[in-house]
Amino acid sequence: MNQNLNSPGFSLTALLDLCGDPAGTAMAKKLEVTPMTVYRWKNSDDMSLTRAIKLADYFGLSLHDFLTWESKNESDNSNLKPLVEGASDGDGGVE
């Protein structure tokens, strides 16, 4: 699938990869949705404003930062809030 590099789904994919939860399993559990729902969000070229705000909140980002994550923060993750439970370090934080 050719995903738009400026889409919310692309930002979500990049953030989940950075957090060590590429499938979004931990996020799905925390947001009380199925992993298939997260998969659909990741592959979406658009999403509702309400959903985008909730996802930005999940990562501790402003809506603008969430929507422009990949283009602005390719190597800087210092402002990313470690919210992914059970991610790469095993205690819920991002290393």
C-alpha angle 34/36/42, rounded to 5°? 115
At residue 5 the predicted structure's pLDDT band, cuts being 50, 70 and 90, is: low
Contact 62, 56 (CB under 8 A): yes
For 68, the 3-state DSSP assignment is coil
In angstroms, the CA 70 to CA 8 distance is 10
More confident residue, 78 or 13: 13
At residue 1, the pLDDT reads 44
At residue 67, the pLDDT reads 85
* pLDDT above 90 as % of the chain: 42
At residue 74, the pLDDT reads 53
Q: Does the domain formed by 8-72 have CATH 1.20.120?
A: no
- Taking the domains of the chain in order of start, what are their residue ranges? 8-72
Instruction: Please give the full DSSP string across 9-55, using - where no structure is assigned.
Output: HHHHHHHHHHTT-TT-HHHHHHHT--HHHHHHHHT-S---HHHHHHH
